[in-house]
Amino acid sequence: MTAAPFDALAPHPTTGFAAATSELSKVYGSGDTRVVALDRVSIAFREGEFTAIMGPSGCGKSTLMHCAAGLDSVSSGSVRIGTTELSTLGDRQLTELRRDRIGFIFQAFNLLPTLTALENITLPLSIAGRRPDQQWLERVVSMVGLSRRLGHRPGQLSGGQQQRVAVARALASRPSIIFGDEPTGNLDSRAGAEVLGFLRDSVRELGQTVVMVTHDPVAAGYADRVVFLSDGRLVDEMAHPTPERVLDRMKALDTHSRTS
């Protein structure tokens, strides 16, 4: 069974979107090995909103995030960050856009072990030759509870504290949008809840836009909305999610993916 395009998620011709895709497709291989990872996906991520992307294993959720963030090329369709169409950018321009306007948080913390927490947080700005906005940096560090840990190296920090550093690093440059790929996947439930709370606070208090891929209904419950993928297509969305409602929807999608 093939799901119909979910047009309600299509980007509208107005401002207020941090990122958007239109008719986005991603195909790997050809012939007998051809795999359609994304099939004409149109979605907009509103400014100041926390969106979770969910779906069965192999549904294309990480591929969608990587394409929307300019980390992976697309086979057809378009991707915009704000009003900038990514296909119009050269490699250097795309690198600069990712550095200046996008924040990333991954399951692996990706911290440099020889640098302190503060040096890891400000590293992308240092590479860009930019000084951090000190007032903003202090606000971010305070929000994620790292004020007393800035001189510590990653090896001196717990997993949850290391991911807090990664969250602060993503926020430090005041990006247009933050993408998180299973950002709590390597954390225990308590540390994961702390990190999700910080992401929630960054949206509520700092006006940040966050898009997170997750398989965890509890994590999705922190979001303003959840969008669901199945077989490379958007099939549903949920506003004001709760873990229970998300779990019920995921069970239905898992059943569908096994029987289709």
Biggest CA-to-CA distance, the chain: 56
Q: How far apart are CA 48 and CA 203, in angstroms?
A: 6
What was the pLDDT predicted at 117? 96
Q: Is residue 1 part of a domain?
A: no
Q: How far apart are CA 164 and CA 150, in angstroms?
A: 11
Q: Is residue 76 part of a domain?
A: yes
Strand partners, 84: 81
Q: What are phi and psi of 74, to 5 degrees?
A: -110, 155
What was the pLDDT predicted at 8? 37
Q: Is residue 2 part of a domain?
A: no
Q: Is residue 162 part of a domain?
A: yes
At 159, which CATH number? Answer: 3.40.50.300
Measured over the CA atoms of residue 178, residue 220, residue 213 and residue 59, the dihedral's sign is negative
Q: Residues 6 or more apart from 138 whose CB is under 8 A from it?
A: none
Q: How far apart are CA 23 and CA 170, in angstroms?
A: 28
Measured over the CA atoms of residue 178, residue 179, residue 183 and residue 189, the dihedral's sign is positive
What was the pLDDT predicted at 173? 87
Q: How far apart are CA 181 and CA 174, in angstroms?
A: 19
Q: Is residue 50 part of a domain?
A: yes
Q: What is the pTM of this model?
A: 0.86
Please check whether residue 61 is in contact with residue 227, taking contact to mean a CB–CB distance below 8 angstroms.
no
Question: Which residue range is the domain that position 107 belongs to?
Answer: 7-259
Q: Is residue 60 part of a domain?
A: yes
Q: Is residue 55 part of a domain?
A: yes
Strand partners, 24: 41
Enclosing H/E stretch for 225: strand 225-230
Q: Is residue 146 part of a domain?
A: yes
Q: How many domains does the chain have?
A: 1
What was the pLDDT predicted at 57? 85
* pLDDT, block means (10 residues), the chain with 260 residues: 37 67 94 92 95 92 93 94 92 90 90 96 90 90 91 94 93 91 89 91 91 95 95 94 93 71
Helix boundaries (H) for the chain: 61-68, 91-101, 117-127, 134-143, 159-172, 189-206, 217-220, 243-259
Could you tell me whether strands 76-81 and 50-54 are parallel, antiparallel, or unpaired per DSSP bridges? unpaired
